[in-house]
Chains A and B, each alone.
Chain A
Amino acid sequence: MALIDLANPTRFLNLANRGLPWLVGLTALLLAAGLYLAWFVAPDDYQQGATVKIMFIHVPAAWLAMFGWALMSVAALGTLVWRHPLADVAGKCAAPIGAAFAFLCLATGSLWGRPMWGTYWVWDARLTSVLVLFLMYLGVMALWRTVEDPARAGRAAAILTLVGAINLPIIKFSVDWWNTLHQPASVFRLGGPAIDRSILLPLIVMAVAFTILFLTLHLAAMRNEILRRRVRTLRLMQAGAGG
Protein backbone atom coordinates (compact mmCIF):
# COMPACT_ATOMS: atom_id res chain seq x y z
CA MET A 1 0.00 0.00 0.00
CA ALA A 2 1.52 3.27 -1.12
CA LEU A 3 1.27 6.54 0.77
CA ILE A 4 -1.22 7.81 -1.77
CA ASP A 5 -3.65 5.08 -0.74
CA LEU A 6 -3.89 6.82 2.60
CA ALA A 7 -4.99 10.01 0.88
CA ASN A 8 -8.58 8.91 1.22
CA PRO A 9 -9.59 10.17 4.66
CA THR A 10 -12.12 7.39 5.19
CA ARG A 11 -9.56 4.71 4.47
CA PHE A 12 -7.10 6.50 6.74
CA LEU A 13 -9.70 6.63 9.53
CA ASN A 14 -10.37 2.92 9.19
CA LEU A 15 -6.67 2.19 9.38
CA ALA A 16 -6.26 4.52 12.34
CA ASN A 17 -9.18 3.01 14.23
CA ARG A 18 -7.84 -0.49 13.68
CA GLY A 19 -4.26 0.32 14.51
CA LEU A 20 -4.63 2.70 17.44
CA PRO A 21 -5.43 0.14 20.19
CA TRP A 22 -2.34 -1.86 19.21
CA LEU A 23 -0.20 1.26 19.22
CA VAL A 24 -1.48 2.27 22.65
CA GLY A 25 -0.62 -1.17 24.00
CA LEU A 26 2.82 -1.10 22.41
CA THR A 27 3.46 2.37 23.83
CA ALA A 28 2.52 1.28 27.34
CA LEU A 29 4.71 -1.80 27.05
CA LEU A 30 7.75 0.08 25.78
CA LEU A 31 7.39 2.86 28.34
CA ALA A 32 7.13 0.32 31.13
CA ALA A 33 10.19 -1.54 29.84
CA GLY A 34 12.17 1.65 29.37
CA LEU A 35 11.33 3.06 32.78
CA TYR A 36 12.14 -0.26 34.44
CA LEU A 37 15.50 -0.42 32.69
CA ALA A 38 16.25 3.19 33.47
CA TRP A 39 15.30 2.99 37.08
CA PHE A 40 16.48 -0.44 38.18
CA VAL A 41 19.03 -1.69 35.65
CA ALA A 42 21.05 1.37 34.66
CA PRO A 43 23.86 2.12 37.12
CA ASP A 44 24.21 5.36 39.06
CA ASP A 45 26.76 7.83 37.82
CA TYR A 46 29.91 7.91 39.97
CA GLN A 47 29.70 11.71 40.20
CA GLN A 48 26.03 12.59 39.78
CA GLY A 49 24.47 9.66 41.58
CA ALA A 50 20.91 8.84 40.71
CA THR A 51 20.22 12.34 39.33
CA VAL A 52 21.76 11.27 36.05
CA LYS A 53 18.62 9.27 35.35
CA ILE A 54 16.80 12.43 34.34
CA MET A 55 18.83 11.94 31.17
CA PHE A 56 16.61 9.01 30.22
CA ILE A 57 13.72 11.43 29.82
CA HIS A 58 15.62 14.55 28.84
CA VAL A 59 17.58 13.14 25.89
CA PRO A 60 14.71 11.21 24.22
CA ALA A 61 12.47 14.28 24.66
CA ALA A 62 15.10 16.38 22.85
CA TRP A 63 15.36 13.85 20.04
CA LEU A 64 11.59 13.72 19.70
CA ALA A 65 11.28 17.52 19.66
CA MET A 66 13.60 17.61 16.65
CA PHE A 67 11.91 14.57 15.15
CA GLY A 68 8.59 16.43 15.40
CA TRP A 69 9.86 19.35 13.35
CA ALA A 70 11.44 16.98 10.82
CA LEU A 71 8.09 15.19 10.49
CA MET A 72 6.36 18.55 10.03
CA SER A 73 8.90 19.44 7.33
CA VAL A 74 8.18 16.24 5.42
CA ALA A 75 4.45 16.94 5.81
CA ALA A 76 5.08 20.49 4.55
CA LEU A 77 6.74 19.08 1.44
CA GLY A 78 3.75 16.78 1.06
CA THR A 79 1.44 19.80 1.16
CA LEU A 80 3.38 22.08 -1.14
CA VAL A 81 5.03 19.67 -3.58
CA TRP A 82 2.95 16.50 -3.77
CA ARG A 83 -0.40 17.97 -2.68
CA HIS A 84 -1.14 14.98 -0.48
CA PRO A 85 -4.60 15.63 1.01
CA LEU A 86 -3.70 14.58 4.55
CA ALA A 87 -0.26 16.17 4.63
CA ASP A 88 -1.43 19.43 6.22
CA VAL A 89 -3.43 17.43 8.80
CA ALA A 90 -0.24 15.58 9.68
CA GLY A 91 1.65 18.85 9.99
CA LYS A 92 -1.01 20.51 12.12
CA CYS A 93 -1.26 17.60 14.54
CA ALA A 94 2.49 17.17 14.97
CA ALA A 95 3.01 20.73 16.19
CA PRO A 96 1.47 20.54 19.71
CA ILE A 97 3.09 17.15 20.37
CA GLY A 98 6.50 18.39 19.26
CA ALA A 99 6.04 21.54 21.35
CA ALA A 100 5.21 19.40 24.38
CA PHE A 101 8.37 17.34 23.91
CA ALA A 102 10.45 20.50 23.48
CA PHE A 103 8.98 21.88 26.70
CA LEU A 104 9.65 18.58 28.46
CA CYS A 105 13.25 18.71 27.26
CA LEU A 106 13.72 22.27 28.52
CA ALA A 107 12.00 21.60 31.86
CA THR A 108 13.85 18.35 32.64
CA GLY A 109 17.12 19.89 31.52
CA SER A 110 16.48 22.87 33.75
CA LEU A 111 15.73 20.65 36.76
CA TRP A 112 18.84 18.61 36.01
CA GLY A 113 21.00 21.70 35.56
CA ARG A 114 20.23 23.10 38.99
CA PRO A 115 21.98 20.37 40.99
CA MET A 116 24.61 19.69 38.32
CA TRP A 117 25.66 23.10 36.99
CA GLY A 118 24.26 25.25 39.78
CA THR A 119 21.81 27.11 37.55
CA TYR A 120 18.35 26.50 36.10
CA TRP A 121 19.22 28.20 32.86
CA VAL A 122 22.19 29.48 30.90
CA TRP A 123 22.19 31.25 27.55
CA ASP A 124 24.46 28.89 25.69
CA ALA A 125 24.02 27.75 22.10
CA ARG A 126 22.25 24.43 22.72
CA LEU A 127 19.69 25.76 25.22
CA THR A 128 19.02 28.90 23.18
CA SER A 129 18.49 27.02 19.93
CA VAL A 130 16.10 24.54 21.61
CA LEU A 131 14.23 27.48 23.13
CA VAL A 132 14.00 29.00 19.64
CA LEU A 133 12.63 25.66 18.41
CA PHE A 134 9.97 25.78 21.13
CA LEU A 135 9.08 29.36 20.14
CA MET A 136 8.80 28.33 16.50
CA TYR A 137 6.47 25.48 17.45
CA LEU A 138 4.26 27.99 19.23
CA GLY A 139 4.47 30.29 16.19
CA VAL A 140 3.23 27.55 13.86
CA MET A 141 0.40 26.74 16.26
CA ALA A 142 -0.50 30.45 16.37
CA LEU A 143 -0.51 30.62 12.57
CA TRP A 144 -2.87 27.63 12.37
CA ARG A 145 -5.29 29.35 14.71
CA THR A 146 -5.19 32.70 12.93
CA VAL A 147 -6.03 31.62 9.39
CA GLU A 148 -9.60 30.39 9.16
CA ASP A 149 -9.66 28.28 6.02
CA PRO A 150 -7.90 24.96 6.82
CA ALA A 151 -6.43 24.49 3.36
CA ARG A 152 -4.97 27.98 3.24
CA ALA A 153 -3.70 27.69 6.80
CA GLY A 154 -2.03 24.42 5.82
CA ARG A 155 -0.06 26.00 3.02
CA ALA A 156 0.99 28.98 5.14
CA ALA A 157 2.10 26.70 7.96
CA ALA A 158 3.97 24.52 5.46
CA ILE A 159 6.02 27.49 4.26
CA LEU A 160 6.80 28.56 7.82
CA THR A 161 7.78 24.98 8.73
CA LEU A 162 10.23 24.71 5.87
CA VAL A 163 11.78 28.09 6.65
CA GLY A 164 12.17 27.07 10.29
CA ALA A 165 13.76 23.71 9.44
CA ILE A 166 17.08 25.52 9.24
CA ASN A 167 17.11 25.43 13.06
CA LEU A 168 17.45 21.63 13.21
CA PRO A 169 21.09 21.35 12.07
CA ILE A 170 21.87 24.41 14.20
CA ILE A 171 20.58 22.57 17.30
CA LYS A 172 22.38 19.37 16.42
CA PHE A 173 25.76 20.96 15.80
CA SER A 174 25.47 23.82 18.29
CA VAL A 175 27.57 21.95 20.84
CA ASP A 176 30.29 21.46 18.25
CA TRP A 177 30.28 24.93 16.76
CA TRP A 178 30.19 26.85 20.04
CA ASN A 179 31.88 26.51 23.37
CA THR A 180 28.82 25.54 25.39
CA LEU A 181 28.03 24.53 28.94
CA HIS A 182 25.87 21.70 27.60
CA GLN A 183 27.91 18.58 27.00
CA PRO A 184 28.92 17.62 23.46
CA ALA A 185 27.32 14.81 21.45
CA SER A 186 27.71 11.37 23.04
CA VAL A 187 25.49 9.16 20.92
CA PHE A 188 25.08 10.44 17.38
CA ARG A 189 28.66 11.28 16.51
CA LEU A 190 31.44 10.12 14.23
CA GLY A 191 33.11 7.18 15.89
CA GLY A 192 29.96 5.77 17.45
CA PRO A 193 28.40 6.26 20.87
CA ALA A 194 30.73 7.21 23.64
CA ILE A 195 28.60 5.95 26.53
CA ASP A 196 28.56 2.53 28.07
CA ARG A 197 26.08 -0.09 26.87
CA SER A 198 24.46 -0.36 30.29
CA ILE A 199 23.32 3.23 29.90
CA LEU A 200 22.92 3.19 26.14
CA LEU A 201 20.37 0.39 26.14
CA PRO A 202 17.80 2.02 28.48
CA LEU A 203 18.34 5.26 26.55
CA ILE A 204 17.54 3.62 23.22
CA VAL A 205 14.52 1.81 24.70
CA MET A 206 13.18 5.09 26.13
CA ALA A 207 13.80 6.80 22.78
CA VAL A 208 11.86 4.10 20.92
CA ALA A 209 9.10 4.27 23.54
CA PHE A 210 8.86 8.05 23.15
CA THR A 211 8.77 7.68 19.38
CA ILE A 212 5.90 5.20 19.49
CA LEU A 213 4.17 7.52 21.98
CA PHE A 214 4.62 10.39 19.52
CA LEU A 215 3.20 8.33 16.66
CA THR A 216 0.26 7.12 18.77
CA LEU A 217 -0.65 10.64 19.86
CA HIS A 218 -0.09 11.88 16.32
CA LEU A 219 -2.39 9.26 14.83
CA ALA A 220 -5.10 9.97 17.39
CA ALA A 221 -4.76 13.71 16.78
CA MET A 222 -5.00 13.22 13.00
CA ARG A 223 -8.15 11.19 13.46
CA ASN A 224 -9.63 13.96 15.61
CA GLU A 225 -8.64 16.64 13.10
CA ILE A 226 -10.26 14.79 10.20
CA LEU A 227 -13.46 14.40 12.21
CA ARG A 228 -13.27 18.06 13.23
CA ARG A 229 -13.06 19.13 9.59
CA ARG A 230 -16.01 16.92 8.72
CA VAL A 231 -18.07 18.60 11.44
CA ARG A 232 -17.02 21.99 10.07
CA THR A 233 -18.04 21.04 6.55
CA LEU A 234 -21.38 19.71 7.75
CA ARG A 235 -22.01 22.93 9.66
CA LEU A 236 -21.15 25.01 6.62
CA MET A 237 -23.45 22.92 4.46
CA GLN A 238 -26.21 23.24 7.02
CA ALA A 239 -25.76 27.00 7.23
CA GLY A 240 -25.80 27.23 3.45
CA ALA A 241 -28.92 25.08 3.09
CA GLY A 242 -30.87 26.62 5.94
CA GLY A 243 -29.94 30.21 5.20
Chain B
Amino acid sequence: MTPLTAMFLRDVRLAVRIGGGAIMGILFFLIVVTLVPLAIGPDLALLARIGPSILWLGALLASLLALDHLFAADQADGSLDVILTARLPLELAVLAKAAAHWLTTGLPLVVAAPVLGLMLNVEGKAMAAVALTLLAGTPALTLIGAVGAALSVALRRGGLLLPVLVLPLTIPVLIFGIAAANAAIVGPVPFGTPFTILCALSLASLAIGPFAAAAALRQGLE
Protein backbone atom coordinates (compact mmCIF):
# COMPACT_ATOMS: atom_id res chain seq x y z
CA MET B 1 0.00 0.00 0.00
CA THR B 2 1.42 3.37 -0.98
CA PRO B 3 1.69 6.18 1.57
CA LEU B 4 -0.90 8.14 -0.41
CA THR B 5 -3.44 5.33 -0.15
CA ALA B 6 -2.61 4.80 3.50
CA MET B 7 -3.18 8.49 4.24
CA PHE B 8 -6.47 8.46 2.37
CA LEU B 9 -7.75 5.33 4.07
CA ARG B 10 -6.68 6.63 7.48
CA ASP B 11 -8.72 9.77 7.05
CA VAL B 12 -11.73 7.89 5.71
CA ARG B 13 -11.60 5.45 8.61
CA LEU B 14 -11.30 8.26 11.15
CA ALA B 15 -14.18 10.14 9.60
CA VAL B 16 -16.40 7.08 9.54
CA ARG B 17 -15.51 5.90 13.05
CA ILE B 18 -15.60 9.25 14.81
CA GLY B 19 -18.53 10.18 12.69
CA GLY B 20 -20.29 13.48 12.91
CA GLY B 21 -18.99 15.09 9.75
CA ALA B 22 -21.47 13.65 7.30
CA ILE B 23 -24.47 13.63 9.63
CA MET B 24 -23.82 17.13 10.89
CA GLY B 25 -23.37 18.39 7.37
CA ILE B 26 -26.65 16.90 6.21
CA LEU B 27 -28.38 18.18 9.34
CA PHE B 28 -27.16 21.71 8.75
CA PHE B 29 -28.18 21.42 5.10
CA LEU B 30 -31.64 20.39 6.27
CA ILE B 31 -31.83 23.33 8.68
CA VAL B 32 -30.89 25.82 5.98
CA VAL B 33 -33.45 24.35 3.60
CA THR B 34 -36.01 24.70 6.41
CA LEU B 35 -35.08 28.28 7.26
CA VAL B 36 -35.29 29.72 3.77
CA PRO B 37 -38.95 28.93 3.07
CA LEU B 38 -39.80 30.16 6.56
CA ALA B 39 -38.07 33.40 5.71
CA ILE B 40 -39.45 33.99 2.25
CA GLY B 41 -42.90 32.47 2.60
CA PRO B 42 -44.40 29.18 1.46
CA ASP B 43 -45.22 30.16 -2.11
CA LEU B 44 -44.54 26.83 -3.82
CA ALA B 45 -44.11 28.24 -7.31
CA LEU B 46 -41.47 30.67 -6.06
CA LEU B 47 -39.71 27.93 -4.12
CA ALA B 48 -39.66 25.69 -7.17
CA ARG B 49 -38.01 28.44 -9.16
CA ILE B 50 -35.31 29.31 -6.64
CA GLY B 51 -35.03 25.80 -5.20
CA PRO B 52 -31.76 24.96 -6.98
CA SER B 53 -30.19 28.14 -5.63
CA ILE B 54 -31.27 27.36 -2.07
CA LEU B 55 -29.85 23.85 -2.38
CA TRP B 56 -26.56 25.16 -3.71
CA LEU B 57 -26.30 27.79 -0.98
CA GLY B 58 -27.09 25.22 1.71
CA ALA B 59 -24.49 22.82 0.36
CA LEU B 60 -21.91 25.61 0.22
CA LEU B 61 -22.50 26.67 3.82
CA ALA B 62 -22.62 23.08 5.08
CA SER B 63 -19.32 22.22 3.41
CA LEU B 64 -17.84 25.42 4.82
CA LEU B 65 -18.73 24.47 8.36
CA ALA B 66 -17.26 21.00 7.96
CA LEU B 67 -13.88 22.38 6.94
CA ASP B 68 -12.77 22.67 10.56
CA HIS B 69 -12.42 18.89 10.67
CA LEU B 70 -9.86 18.88 7.89
CA PHE B 71 -6.75 19.78 9.85
CA ALA B 72 -7.87 20.66 13.37
CA ALA B 73 -7.97 17.18 14.89
CA ASP B 74 -4.57 16.26 13.49
CA GLN B 75 -3.09 19.54 14.61
CA ALA B 76 -4.44 19.12 18.13
CA ASP B 77 -2.86 15.74 18.77
CA GLY B 78 0.38 16.39 16.91
CA SER B 79 -0.24 14.14 13.91
CA LEU B 80 0.07 17.14 11.62
CA ASP B 81 3.70 17.65 12.68
CA VAL B 82 4.41 14.02 11.82
CA ILE B 83 2.70 14.44 8.45
CA LEU B 84 4.77 17.56 7.79
CA THR B 85 8.04 15.73 8.36
CA ALA B 86 7.04 12.46 6.70
CA ARG B 87 8.43 11.28 3.38
CA LEU B 88 5.09 11.62 1.62
CA PRO B 89 5.11 15.08 -0.02
CA LEU B 90 2.89 17.44 1.93
CA GLU B 91 0.97 18.34 -1.22
CA LEU B 92 -0.04 14.70 -1.70
CA ALA B 93 -0.94 14.37 1.96
CA VAL B 94 -3.21 17.39 1.63
CA LEU B 95 -4.71 15.89 -1.52
CA ALA B 96 -5.40 12.60 0.27
CA LYS B 97 -6.99 14.39 3.23
CA ALA B 98 -9.09 16.56 0.94
CA ALA B 99 -10.23 13.52 -1.04
CA ALA B 100 -11.22 11.71 2.15
CA HIS B 101 -12.98 14.84 3.38
CA TRP B 102 -14.95 15.17 0.17
CA LEU B 103 -15.91 11.52 0.22
CA THR B 104 -17.17 11.66 3.79
CA THR B 105 -18.63 15.19 3.85
CA GLY B 106 -19.18 16.50 0.33
CA LEU B 107 -20.62 13.39 -1.25
CA PRO B 108 -23.33 12.97 1.45
CA LEU B 109 -24.46 16.52 0.66
CA VAL B 110 -24.74 15.61 -3.02
CA VAL B 111 -26.86 12.60 -2.10
CA ALA B 112 -29.00 14.61 0.31
CA ALA B 113 -29.71 17.42 -2.17
CA PRO B 114 -32.40 15.68 -4.26
CA VAL B 115 -34.14 14.49 -1.09
CA LEU B 116 -34.20 18.01 0.32
CA GLY B 117 -35.36 19.24 -3.06
CA LEU B 118 -38.64 17.53 -2.35
CA MET B 119 -39.22 19.97 0.49
CA LEU B 120 -38.71 22.84 -1.91
CA ASN B 121 -41.08 21.52 -4.56
CA VAL B 122 -38.22 21.21 -7.01
CA GLU B 123 -39.16 19.15 -10.04
CA GLY B 124 -37.38 15.96 -11.02
CA LYS B 125 -35.25 17.27 -13.86
CA ALA B 126 -34.11 20.14 -11.69
CA MET B 127 -33.16 17.81 -8.85
CA ALA B 128 -31.02 15.76 -11.19
CA ALA B 129 -29.35 18.89 -12.51
CA VAL B 130 -28.65 20.19 -9.00
CA ALA B 131 -27.21 16.85 -7.92
CA LEU B 132 -24.97 16.67 -10.98
CA THR B 133 -23.68 20.23 -10.59
CA LEU B 134 -23.08 19.65 -6.89
CA LEU B 135 -21.16 16.50 -7.74
CA ALA B 136 -18.91 18.54 -10.04
CA GLY B 137 -18.67 21.56 -7.75
CA THR B 138 -18.23 20.18 -4.23
CA PRO B 139 -14.63 19.01 -4.92
CA ALA B 140 -13.79 22.64 -5.74
CA LEU B 141 -15.43 23.75 -2.49
CA THR B 142 -13.40 21.19 -0.52
CA LEU B 143 -10.09 22.08 -2.15
CA ILE B 144 -10.53 25.84 -1.93
CA GLY B 145 -11.68 25.36 1.65
CA ALA B 146 -8.54 23.33 2.34
CA VAL B 147 -6.47 26.41 1.52
CA GLY B 148 -8.46 28.46 4.01
CA ALA B 149 -8.35 25.70 6.62
CA ALA B 150 -4.57 25.45 6.24
CA LEU B 151 -4.18 29.21 6.63
CA SER B 152 -6.16 29.23 9.85
CA VAL B 153 -4.94 25.93 11.29
CA ALA B 154 -2.53 27.35 13.80
CA LEU B 155 -4.79 30.14 15.03
CA ARG B 156 -6.41 29.82 18.39
CA ARG B 157 -9.04 32.48 17.97
CA GLY B 158 -9.75 31.99 14.30
CA GLY B 159 -13.43 32.70 14.69
CA LEU B 160 -15.04 33.71 11.45
CA LEU B 161 -11.72 34.04 9.64
CA LEU B 162 -12.15 30.80 7.73
CA PRO B 163 -15.49 31.74 6.13
CA VAL B 164 -14.24 35.27 5.42
CA LEU B 165 -11.25 33.89 3.54
CA VAL B 166 -12.94 31.00 1.77
CA LEU B 167 -16.31 32.39 0.68
CA PRO B 168 -15.04 35.06 -1.76
CA LEU B 169 -12.92 32.43 -3.47
CA THR B 170 -15.85 30.03 -3.82
CA ILE B 171 -18.13 32.62 -5.39
CA PRO B 172 -17.23 31.58 -9.00
CA VAL B 173 -18.08 27.96 -8.15
CA LEU B 174 -21.44 29.04 -6.77
CA ILE B 175 -22.19 31.24 -9.78
CA PHE B 176 -21.41 28.60 -12.36
CA GLY B 177 -23.02 25.79 -10.37
CA ILE B 178 -26.32 27.63 -10.19
CA ALA B 179 -26.00 28.76 -13.80
CA ALA B 180 -25.62 25.16 -14.88
CA ALA B 181 -28.53 23.99 -12.72
CA ASN B 182 -30.79 26.72 -14.06
CA ALA B 183 -29.62 26.14 -17.63
CA ALA B 184 -30.81 22.56 -17.40
CA ILE B 185 -34.25 23.71 -16.27
CA VAL B 186 -35.16 26.89 -18.06
CA GLY B 187 -32.33 28.62 -19.78
CA PRO B 188 -31.67 29.27 -23.40
CA VAL B 189 -28.04 28.65 -22.48
CA PRO B 190 -27.14 24.99 -23.06
CA PHE B 191 -26.32 23.04 -19.92
CA GLY B 192 -22.84 22.19 -21.18
CA THR B 193 -21.45 25.70 -21.19
CA PRO B 194 -21.56 26.56 -17.49
CA PHE B 195 -21.13 22.90 -16.56
CA THR B 196 -17.80 22.55 -18.32
CA ILE B 197 -16.62 25.77 -16.71
CA LEU B 198 -17.68 24.36 -13.35
CA CYS B 199 -15.67 21.20 -14.06
CA ALA B 200 -12.75 23.41 -15.09
CA LEU B 201 -12.96 25.24 -11.77
CA SER B 202 -12.84 21.93 -9.92
CA LEU B 203 -9.85 20.77 -11.94
CA ALA B 204 -8.07 24.09 -11.43
CA SER B 205 -8.62 23.92 -7.68
CA LEU B 206 -7.34 20.33 -7.80
CA ALA B 207 -4.15 21.63 -9.42
CA ILE B 208 -3.63 24.70 -7.25
CA GLY B 209 -5.29 23.84 -3.94
CA PRO B 210 -2.87 21.21 -2.62
CA PHE B 211 0.14 23.42 -3.33
CA ALA B 212 -1.35 26.50 -1.71
CA ALA B 213 -2.63 24.51 1.29
CA ALA B 214 0.72 22.76 1.76
CA ALA B 215 2.58 26.08 1.65
CA ALA B 216 0.14 27.52 4.17
CA LEU B 217 0.58 24.51 6.48
CA ARG B 218 4.33 24.80 6.32
CA GLN B 219 4.37 28.46 7.23
CA GLY B 220 1.76 27.99 9.93
CA LEU B 221 3.50 25.18 11.73
CA GLU B 222 7.13 25.92 10.85
| Residues in chain A within 8 A of chain B (CB atoms) | 80, 128, 132, 135-136, 138-139, 142-143, 146-147, 152, 155-156, 159-160, 162-164, 170
B162-188 to A contact mask, C-beta < 8 Å, 1/0: 001101110110010000000000000
Provide a sorted-by-A list of 6 A–B residue pairs whose CB atoms are within 8 angstroms. Answer: A135-B167, A143-B161, A146-B157, A159-B216, A162-B212, A164-B168
| Residues in chain B within 8 A of chain A (CB atoms) | 147, 151-152, 154-155, 157-159, 161, 164-165, 167-169, 171-172, 175, 208, 212, 215-216, 219-220, 222
B219 touches A155 (CB 8 A): yes
B159, B171, B216, B219 interface centre (most CB from chain A within 10 Å) = B219
B168 touches A156 (CB 8 A): no
Bound state CA distance, A143 and B168, in angstroms? Answer: 14
A152 touches B164 (CB 8 A): no
A132, A143, A163 interface centre (most CB from chain B within 10 Å) = A163
Instruction: Collect the chain A residues with CB atoms within 8 Å of residue B151's CB.
Output: 143, 156, 159-160
Known: A138-B164, A139-B165, A142-B161. A156 touches B219 (CB 8 A): yes
With A128-B171, A142-B161, A160-B165 given, name 15 new contacts (CB 8 A): A135-B168, A136-B169, A143-B165, A146-B157, A146-B159, A146-B161, A152-B154, A152-B219, A156-B219, A159-B151, A159-B212, A159-B215, A163-B147, A163-B169, A170-B172
Instruction: Collect the chain B residues with CB atoms within 8 Å of residue A164's CB.
Output: 168-169
B155 touches A146 (CB 8 A): yes
Instruction: Find B219's partner among A138, A159, A163, A170 (CB 8 Å cutoff).
Output: A159
Instruction: Collect the chain A residues with CB atoms within 8 Å of residue B161's CB.
Output: 142-143, 146
| Closest Cβ–Cβ distance, residue B214 to chain A (whole Å) | 10
Instruction: Collect the chain B residues with CB atoms within 8 Å of residue A128's CB.
Output: 171, 175
| Closest Cβ–Cβ distance, residue A82 to chain B (whole Å) | 15
Return the chain B residue nearest A138 by Cβ.
B164
| Closest Cβ–Cβ distance, residue A155 to chain B (whole Å) | 4
Instruction: Collect the chain B residues with CB atoms within 8 Å of residue A160's CB.
Output: 147, 151, 165
Task: Please classify the interface of chain B as helix (H, G, I), strand (E, B), loop, or mixed, using the class held by over half of its residues.
Answer: helix
Known: A159-B151, A160-B151, A163-B147. A146 touches B158 (CB 8 A): yes
A156 touches B216 (CB 8 A): yes
Instruction: Collect the chain A residues with CB atoms within 8 Å of residue B172's CB.
Output: 170
| Closest Cβ–Cβ distance, residue B200 to chain A (whole Å) | 12
A135, A139, A162 interface centre (most CB from chain B within 10 Å) = A139
B212 touches A136 (CB 8 A): no
Return the chain A residue nearest B213 by Cβ.
A159
Instruction: Collect the chain A residues with CB atoms within 8 Å of residue B155's CB.
Output: 146-147
| Closest Cβ–Cβ distance, residue A131 to chain B (whole Å) | 9
Instruction: Collect the chain A residues with CB atoms within 8 Å of residue B171's CB.
Output: 128, 132
Instruction: Find A132's partner among B168, B208, B222 (CB 8 Å cutoff).
Output: B168
Return the chain B residue nearest A145 by Cβ.
B161
A80 touches B215 (CB 8 A): yes
| Closest Cβ–Cβ distance, residue B115 to chain A (whole Å) | 30
Instruction: Collect the chain A residues with CB atoms within 8 Å of residue B220's CB.
Output: 152, 156
Return the chain A residue nearest B167 by Cβ.
A135
Instruction: Find A163's partner among B164, B175, B208 (CB 8 Å cutoff).
Output: B208
Instruction: Collect the chain A residues with CB atoms within 8 Å of residue B216's CB.
Output: 156, 159
**10 A-B pairs closest in CB distance:** A155-B219, A135-B168, A139-B165, A136-B168, A132-B168, A159-B216, A139-B164, A156-B151, A146-B161, A163-B212
Instruction: Collect the chain A residues with CB atoms within 8 Å of residue B152's CB.
Output: 146
| Closest Cβ–Cβ distance, residue A158 to chain B (whole Å) | 8
Instruction: Collect the chain A residues with CB atoms within 8 Å of residue B157's CB.
Output: 146
Return the chain B residue nearest A151 by Cβ.
B219
Return the chain A residue nearest B165 by Cβ.
A139
Bound state CA distance, A132 and B171, in angstroms? Answer: 8
Instruction: Collect the chain A residues with CB atoms within 8 Å of residue B168's CB.
Output: 132, 135-136, 139, 164
Bound state CA distance, A27 and B155, in angstroms? Answer: 40
